[in-house]
Amino acid sequence: MEPILTVSHLQKYYGSRGSVTRAIDDLSLSVRAGEFVGIMGASGSGKTTLLNCVATIDRPTAGTITIGGQVVTALRPAALSRFRREKLGFIFQDCNLLDTLTAFENIALPLSIQNRPAGEIGEKVRRCARLLEIEDCMEKYPYQMSGGQCQRTAAARAIVTDPALVLADEPTGALDSKAARLLLDRFEALNRDRSATILMVTHDAFTASYCHRILFIKDGRAFTELVRGEDSRKAFFTRIIEVVTLLGGDSGDVL
């Protein structure tokens, strides 16, 4: 199966000659359609920079990113904006819902921007709300919902356009353990029932244990990779903890 995402020899440098920070240093990876992939690493390892480059928010210094057969690093600004709007879904740690819109209106917004028919918008929003178990929140504003409900609303907004790739940046970071578990259960359902392809940055081993595969990054480079395979989530969690511990040492301890 062809990858939905291919990152080839990616580099992202900040600063100028004499004082350069290599946030991403010759990193390559691929994600197949229908995968749920996690990105882990210590603070400053480059994981959020990687996600921002894939999200087309940041321009890489060198290398290529291909999503759904489109080389996005070669797109001009107008085409890049259209691609981002039509092909990518975003879930942020802080939800980023619009306070003046109801949950229904927040979820519907990407479809409205695409000028979809009203009947189609209503049907798609209700379907996503059912999948994420937030039907009773549709007429509520963000301030009337819990943090978990807001984050599930953000997830519904991210998938309502059926994007090629859903990008999640620390989606459970602001949630308590119960709300985080509910959100992750819904991510699992999105991946299983909608074949949603999810690339998620997280520092949390419990959150990462829901993934099929995890890429660990250290100092802007690929450190190692774990594949869940037939492991239970509990067994996979234990393996993740082992690698997280090794991340504090030399890369020679792992590779």
Task: Please tell me the distance from the alpha carbon of residue 190 to that of residue 170, in angstroms, as a whole number.
Answer: 17
Task: Please tell me the distance from the alpha carbon of residue 82 to that of residue 96, in angstroms, as a whole number.
Answer: 20
Contact 191, 198 (CB under 8 A): yes
CATH T-level assignment (fold) for domain 3-253: Rossmann fold (3.40.50)
pLDDT at 1: 65
Contact 171, 200 (CB under 8 A): yes
pLDDT at 246: 86
- The predicted model scores a pTM of 0.91
Angle (CA) 186-188-193 rounded to 5° is 90
pLDDT at 43: 85
Residue-wise pLDDT tens digits, 150-195: 999 999 999 999 999 999 999 998 889 999 999 999 999 999 988 9
Sign of the torsion formed by the C-alpha atoms of 173, 176, 179 and 181: positive
Residue-wise pLDDT tens digits, 19-40: 888 999 999 999 999 999 999 9
Percent of the chain with pLDDT over 70: 96
